[in-house]
Amino acid sequence: MTISLAVAGASGYAGGELLRLLLDHPGVRDGSIEIGALTANSNAGQRLGDSHPHLIPLADRVLEETTPEILAKHDVVFLGLPHGHSGEIAAQLSEDTLVVDLGADHRLADAADWEKYYGTEHAGTWPYGLPELPGQREILANTKKIAVPGCFPTGATLALMPGVARGLFSEQITVVSVTGSSGAGKAAKVPMLHAEVHGSAKAYGVAVHRHIPEITQNLGGLTDAQLKVSFTPVLAPMARGILTTAVIPTSHSAEEIRAAYAEAYATEPFVHVLPAGQQPMTANVLGSNCVQIGVEVDATAGTAIVTSAIDNLAKGTAGGAIQSMNIALGLEETAGLPLVGLAP
């Protein structure tokens, strides 16, 4: 039986990355998975190649309108839509359709947090598409609805998860994530113009960023401690990638913390804990679904410094979506997901 899938928001960065990875998926190559409708909003009626000329095998496909009727014809639907737009469409799709939402609509469990940070009515909570969280693979294997994590929460959660879960860190967590401009999406915005971004870096969303409750939700489920998470994103002059630095008070040694991380991630195909003295680089994971993590301790300050690097469009969005889809469909979890980056 052939599995048909549709991609809503195919003209955007997330949709383009999703299709790039899907084209190399063994199911697509052997015909057991078929790429069906590719939809868009303002770009409907145009060739996909007008938005993504690098997707040569699909370049002549015409983008259709994003409607429930078109999407409903498929077994799997990826929703690569702006925040606040997935809920209404998802509600009109069959319960038998595997719906993978790359937007934020279904990530948060607390409706009050959603309304505070997003300003609209909460669309409900779906199983969270971060397989590395304890017990999450079993949940994803038995669901038809998946909420893909935000790119910042992916990097921050994986950087902090073993230390928080094992009680190696204080409740006060400070996270700074440096990101490329593709995280803001493909729509034209003055702050994202090359002349605005090139040669400069700036913090934004300080103390009020929408991903604060998501990071807190992920880590809070690992401990009984009342965590206090401070998160600051920084826009850097690069197209893609996120480098996260977390600083947390600790009384444990670097060797002890690093050993805990190595044990926690020993069987994870995409998470790589680096040796002492080696730091993650975004270039090393570019185009891959991998995460690099570095662990050090400043004994003088009494703080652990944990760094992580991901590709925000791959593991941070599209790669994480395909990884979760693979689990939900009973496929090999790593299918179609690159383990090797593009450095230099």
Strand ranges for the chain from DSSP E:
3-8, 33-40, 64-65, 76-79, 98-101, 145-147, 172-179, 202-203, 228-235, 242-249, 271-273, 291-298, 303-310
Q: Look up tokens 């469409």; give the residue.
A: 89
CA–CA gap between residue 186 and residue 13 (Å, rounded)? 6
Sequence-distant (≥ 6) Cβ neighbours of residue 279 within 8 angstroms = 294, 307
Q: What are the φ and ψ backbone dihedral angles of 232, each rounded to 5 degrees?
A: -130, 120
Q: What are the φ and ψ backbone dihedral angles of 239, each rounded to 5 degrees?
A: -80, -45
Which residue intervals of 185-290 are DSSP H helices? 194-197, 212-220, 254-264, 282-285
Positions annotated as catalytic residues are: 151
CA–CA gap between residue 156 and residue 138 (Å, rounded)? 22
Decide the pairing of beta strands 33-40 and 98-101.
Answer: unpaired
